[in-house]
Amino acid sequence: MVMTPSRNCPLCGGSTTQKKYADAQLPVWQCVCGAVFLSPFPSAEELKAIYRDTYYETWGLTADNENAPRQMKLLTFSARLKKISRFLKTGKVLDVGCATGYFLEAAKAAGWEPYGVELSEYSSRLAQQKFGARIFNGTLEEAHFADETFDLITMSDLLEHVRDIDAFMHEAVRILKPSGLLMIVTPNVASLSCRMMGAKWSHYKAEHLHYFSPVTIKALLKKSGMPPLLIEPSPKYLNLAYIINQFQTYQHPIFTPLATGADRLFPRSIKQANFPVSCGELLVLARKP
């Protein structure tokens, strides 16, 4: 067994790290500063295999079935916009990792001017059908936005996928206007669900390279010169149909058979009713000085 990771801590640069779980399939390391990360990262080929078009099927986001999770996503994103509106009402918003553009739809409806960046060609094409050239297909760095362009930058379920967190945060802060807001939603490695599930936590995935907690996200924001305004649990609106689909895709010894049972037991109307669920994620709002 490898006893030291192949890289220093991405947050504090230290080398005092240890394996978080002795028996985990993924190489999850934890630094004394609290940072949790994979080391080594999966290879470029492995990641490419993960992010093929079928990646989005686990969201129920196949092209012919886009309506099923739509209501669920719009409810979640409207709740996030409501939080943001306590600090800022409208302006230019950039959603990094915008997928097919659900957040931007909700933002546009709330009066924001929507822009998006999406790495996946498949989902950026769907977003472009709604927002045209305002959707950039590629990485944030490749988009080369001008300094101080946006009033709000949002990243939902994105930061954990980013390879070089420092460079990424630097770029985000550069293109944010002074007094602009940053919203991050990411798995919370200090959440109850993580502590209960251990190495089997549903957010531990090969493509999730970094894992944050309220403590480490605060440290990252401090390092990026972005004082946090708010750090709190972030619920998602879900329905049973979605949860069943997740556990049938990501096999779990207990929950997968339960999900299959629930699928047979409940009628469609119950399976598609939306309700807020705490999924072990945290929501952060920070403001550029």
Contact between 219 and Zn ion per CB under 5 A: no
Q: Dig out the tokens for 19 from the structure.
A: 């394996």
Read off the DSSP letter of residue 91.
S
Residue 5 or 116: which CB sits closer to Zn ion?
Answer: 5
Q: Which of 33, 47, 197, 277 binds Zn ion (CB under 5 A)?
A: 33
Please identify which residue in 14, 138, 225, 257 interacts with Zn ion, judged by CB under 5 A.
Answer: 14
- Bridge-based pairing of strands 92-96 and 36-38 is unpaired
> Interface with Zn ion by CB under 5 A: which range of 31-39, 50-58, 77-85, 155-163?
31-39
Phi, psi of 247 (to 5 degrees): -75, -20
Q: Which stretch binds Zn ion (CB under 5 A): 9-17, 88-96, 113-121, 214-222?
A: 9-17
Q: Which residues touch 262 (CB under 8 Å, ≥6 apart)? A: 240, 244, 271
Stretch that binds Zn ion, among 7-15, 65-73, 82-90, 140-148 (CB under 5 A): 7-15
If binding is defined by CB under 5 A, does position 277 make contact with Zn ion?
A: no
Q: Per-residue x/- marks for Zn ion, 43-62, CB under 5 A? A: --------------------
Please report how close the Cβ of residue 33 comes to Zn ion at its closest, in angstroms: 3
Q: What length is written for the chain?
A: 289
H-assigned helices in the chain: 44-50, 70-84, 102-109, 121-131, 140-143, 165-175, 192-197, 214-223, 240-249, 255-265, 268-271
Nearby residues of 105 by Cβ (< 8 Å), 6 or more positions away: 74, 77, 114, 130
Q: Which is nearer to Zn ion, 9 or 285 (CB)?
A: 9
State in angstroms the smallest separation of the CB of 189 from Zn ion: 13
- What number of chain residues touch Zn ion (CB under 5 A)? 7
If binding is defined by CB under 5 A, does position 9 make contact with Zn ion? Answer: yes
Q: State which of residues 5, 27, 28, 35 lies at the interface with Zn ion (CB under 5 A).
A: 35
At residue 282, φ and ψ (nearest 5 deg) are -120, 150
Among 27, 28, 31, 259, binds Zn ion (CB under 5 A): 31
Could you write out the DSSP letters of every residue in 155-177?
Answer: EES-GGG-S-HHHHHHHHHHHEE
* Residues near Zn ion (CB under 5 A): 9, 11-12, 14, 31, 33, 35
